[in-house]
Structure 1
Amino acid sequence: MPITVLLVDDEPLVRAGLRAVLEAQPDIEVVGEAADGAAVIPLVRQRRPDVVAMDVRMPLMDGIEATRAVLRTVHEPPKILVVTTFENDEYVYGALRAGADGFLLKRARPAEIVHAVRLVAEGDSLLFPAAVRQLAASYGRERDGSEAREALERAGLTEREADVLRLVARGLSNAEIAARLVVGTETVKSHVSSVLAKLGARDRTQAVIAAYESGFVSPG
């Protein structure tokens, strides 16, 4: 089965370019387009895409609100890939906090666009880990972190789970974490799943944001 994608952007040329790139791949199918976030929920319910490529800045409903709405109201929601012009953008951070799985730069090369869609569809949410860490460090520390700290305390992470969260927040892959802790990758996957469940995090991106906003991991 192909990976199905819904394109959401208020610029027709951007949508046309993304469609051309994605539909050139035998394993990807574009199943719809929308020019604003307000049209996303009905299209998601009708077309059931695997991935929504969502512009972050739109006139009626931006990508942040549209992401929140999809995750709040759609049963088994799709993966959400934010499409942005500037990676160091508070709007991007807001979308990631709202539950987006990763982001894609509009200036990305075709191969990078395809790779991003496949990666998100497969469940690997932490695209551009260094940039996500930079966003969390830049904007997370400007927020009141008390709620994030309380959530982390309530989570009751074990010492090993805390070690894993620190390494995830530093951008290490499961294989790199396994090598650092001298354990198997399946053990790391189990720890990561437990951390996400205890934090109530949708994915690794949400866990990274929680780690920085709570002060559990410091920038630098």
Structure 2
Amino acid sequence: MQKKSIQNKDSLKRFVDKGINEKELSPFDPPDAYNPLNIETIPYEKMHPFLKELIDEHKNFAEVLSKFETALMNWKNNNWIFNDEIDIGLKQFFNFFDEKVPLHNQKEEKKLFPLLHKKLIEIGEHNSVDSSITGINLMEDEHLKVAQAVAIVFNFLELGSQLPDKRSREITFELAYEQGMAIIETMKLHIFREENILFPQAMKLLSKEKLDDFN
């Protein structure tokens, strides 16, 4: 996978499409992915406790992602040779993703997403061709794609470690590296979207009583 800067181009497939010839844009697909349109940010202190909990979990994941990124870069600069520091960064990421991320995603997918998806359709914030598609579909799709990509990286690492041919091993490790960096980019943007677009929408569209039910 060719690495591209998410500051310049969002490589994720567009789900919230207002039409090719229309000027109106969804906040889930702005020209600058880190500059969402028409969304009023809400400080952490004013977020509902359920959303604060999700944000806190994002912070923990962001720390793991940072160490994962450092491990990947050090691994590449070390000519694909592992050491203790690199091993720790990689293992921490895979363990966290296996133990913590599914529980976090379930909170969003089973509680928050269905109700917010319904509200977005009600206010017209949906795909112009298919009204059943909202920004929630993008979030759920990213959950799935990242999980698949993590499995690919893990398998590439396992495969590369077993290859006797040096060139084949390097090619496999380079693929693992590129896929790993793509995961980091996707998750950074995913977390940004949730905290700066989706969660403020939840605060606006869902009552306190509804959010209380999620705890």
Same structural fold, with TM-score higher than 0.5 when normalized by the shorter chain = no
When Rg is computed on C-alpha atoms for both structures, the one with the higher figure is 2
Instruction: Say which structure, 1 or 2, has more relative contact order (CA 8 Å, 6+ apart).
Output: 2
Kindly indicate which of the two structures has a greater share of residues assigned to strand.
1
| TM score, norm. by length of structure 1 | 0.28
| TM score, norm. by length of structure 2 | 0.28
